[in-house]
A and B are shown apart, each in its own frame.
Chain A
């Protein structure tokens, strides 16, 4: 029981990070029907921006309050990552919007390789560490020598994910920006005729997705203490899987999918073999897609005539 609770905490934390990244995939797919393969690398770039900013704040400016530093890092990372993502959309995707369906996707793969290599060249191929922060833990249960602990880091990650999901859910459902987004998603031409600035709306979608990825990047850096140029790939693929599992295009689906992938991975490692954890996670994906092609919370595809 105690080990189960511990693994549950581990899984939920990991899943929250996947979920935050997955939102970016799902929103972009929802609005322009394109898988943004560079999104995982945007996440990795955000972790590096956070790392540089954190080191500047703590060593050059001498900020000692870790929470203040984290808050500043979060804002800075969200800003610069959004800028990067906006630029990518402007340079690599928008000119291809009228082109055949595969063109922007291939462009996205190119951007992904570009970002990873750029970071490798400028930051070096090794893991870059930050000093461990917020190492305090809460002991939840103490039975027979096994302590179930919940780290403050884990609390922060889960709370931030929940708050952001709530915030962005509100944004998409209740604000005019959200309405514009949903209109563009349903029918781009009609939305344009009705006076919605389509380009602007799509740009904003990329910016929001990147801002969430930046939050995930900061959380990732705080949780694992290192960043590496290759870190975009695996979390990116897992988050994409989470988005598909939850139902691509659905915001709560992305978070649910992320949590599920995190939990499956963790529990498989805990009770079976760690070697096969990715096999387990991706098998569940395959099974879901066979029996529920629209994902867990996705709407069935309606052919527009």
Chain B
């Protein structure tokens, strides 16, 4: 069985290399999708899947790409590198699959990267943030702006907008939180601010009162909070209940309506930024369609996934229109050389390192809603 599948895979690769026409013109164009759909990051994967499914339906309802339907294959990697690798293998063995969206974390995305690269399937991750991800091979792209490009924005938020001189940074204890905290600390110090506390918050932690008492004693002017919304909501509640009224600034993960629901009135006045703002009139069509289908507002992660598949489908369309054979290699080139694309989360124009640099919008929480700052 394994042997037969392997030979089929080899035959396919050879087929791609020699004839360049792997699939019949009438067949649907296959697109791979993988993200954590179960496990503790399922919240994000679910957002991805919802958007990709919406996009798939919209494209097919409009007659497909150049008359050909698309078919997305959905896979759950549970944020496990092992799963992601075997999913990538499955994609590599699927005839006619020329593009993949995934995954949520750099860990899972990078595990799939070698296999996808070998099979010449371009991969767009909506949210992998590690600097090394697109460096892996010319087949890796992402939709989010790289972390170190965001640090000056954080310093601007904390030092200029919130007028902070003494800053406390409780950060989420993972790769993203640690890197964001350290880079932001450096950027803040460069602007003349002082970081008086930098402490981790463990995933799923509930009790922040010791940390809150510590912050209260240090009396900073601003708290910068690179923490995911579940922990962040508990933290701000305990902070405000202890009578600490220090203004809070935060990066984009808190631009999630779930945060407002969990933190309630204690979320008031938090200043943050986002690359996707649901009340923006430019994204109204998408937001309405999403709400009609899923009965909730899309968030930044939904929008990033939508832009990820849009970039791939645009490239597929370019290849088909140019009359070139539809292969992963040609789709990759089309993604890399595509003109600037105005998506939901800003402009996608890949540079030589396959990175984007999207503009963020500052928003503030007022009366239980996000409004433009």
Q: Which residues of A contact B (CB under 8 A)?
A: 2-3, 6-7, 10-11, 13-14, 125-127, 129, 131-132, 135, 137, 145-147, 149, 151, 224-226, 228, 230-231, 234, 265-267, 269-270, 273-275, 277
Could you write out 15 A-B pairs with CB less than 8 Å apart? Answer: A7-B213, A14-B207, A125-B40, A127-B230, A127-B234, A129-B233, A132-B266, A137-B241, A149-B242, A226-B262, A266-B209, A269-B210, A269-B214, A274-B200, A274-B202
Residues of B within 8 A of A147 (CB): 243
Name the distance in Å between A112's Cβ and chain B's nearest Cβ. Answer: 16
Cα distance, A265 to B206, chains bound together (Å): 13
Partner of A10, one of B204, B206, B210, B219: B210
Residues of A within 8 A of B207 (CB): 10, 14, 224
Cα distance, A165 to B22, chains bound together (Å): 73
Cα distance, A135 to B264, chains bound together (Å): 13
Main secondary structure of the interface of A (DSSP, over half): helix
B353 at the interface (CB under 8 A from A): no
Name the distance in Å between B341's Cβ and chain A's nearest Cβ. Answer: 33
Is the CB–CB distance between B210 and A234 below 8 Å? no
Give the nearest-CB partner of B200 in chain A. Answer: A275
Is the CB–CB distance between A274 and B234 below 8 Å? no
B42 at the interface (CB under 8 A from A): yes
Partner of B213, one of A10, A145, A225: A10
Partner of A132, one of B43, B173, B217, B237: B237
Closest 8 CB pairs of A and B: A269-B210, A10-B209, A6-B213, A3-B217, A266-B210, A224-B206, A274-B199, A129-B262
Residues of A within 8 A of B258 (CB): 126
Please give the number of chain B residues whose Cβ is less than 8 angstroms from any Cβ of chain A in the complex: 31
Partner of A275, one of B42, B173, B210, B234: B173
Is the CB–CB distance between A126 and B213 below 8 Å? no
Is the CB–CB distance between A273 and B199 below 8 Å? yes
Would you give the 0/1 interface string for B194-233, flagging 1 where the beta carbon is closer than 8 Å to chain A? 0000011110101101110110110100000000001001
Residues of A within 8 A of B342 (CB): none
Cα distance, A274 to B212, chains bound together (Å): 12
Is the CB–CB distance between B234 and A226 below 8 Å? yes
Residues facing A in B234-256 (CB within 8 A) are 234, 237, 241-243
Is the CB–CB distance between B204 and A228 below 8 Å? yes
Q: A6-B213, A226-B230, A226-B262 are in contact. List 6 more A-B contacts (CB 8 A).
A: A3-B217, A126-B258, A127-B262, A129-B264, A224-B207, A274-B201
Cα distance, A135 to B239, chains bound together (Å): 12
Partner of A225, one of B202, B219, B234: B234
Is the CB–CB distance between B241 and A135 below 8 Å? yes
Partner of A270, one of B42, B213, B233, B264: B213
B261 at the interface (CB under 8 A from A): yes
Name the distance in Å between B82's Cβ and chain A's nearest Cβ. Answer: 21
Given A125-B42, A126-B43, A273-B199, verify A231-B241 contact (CB < 8 Å): no
Partner of B204, one of A13, A234, A273, A275: A234
Residues of B within 8 A of A146 (CB): 216-217
Residues of B within 8 A of A273 (CB): 199
Is the CB–CB distance between A225 and B237 below 8 Å? yes
Residues of B within 8 A of A270 (CB): 210, 213-214
Name the distance in Å between B49's Cβ and chain A's nearest Cβ. Answer: 14
Is the CB–CB distance between A151 and B241 below 8 Å? yes
Is the CB–CB distance between B241 and A126 below 8 Å? no
Residues of B within 8 A of A149 (CB): 242-243
Give the nearest-CB partner of A14 in chain B. Answer: B207
Residues of A within 8 A of B210 (CB): 7, 10-11, 265-267, 269-270, 274, 277
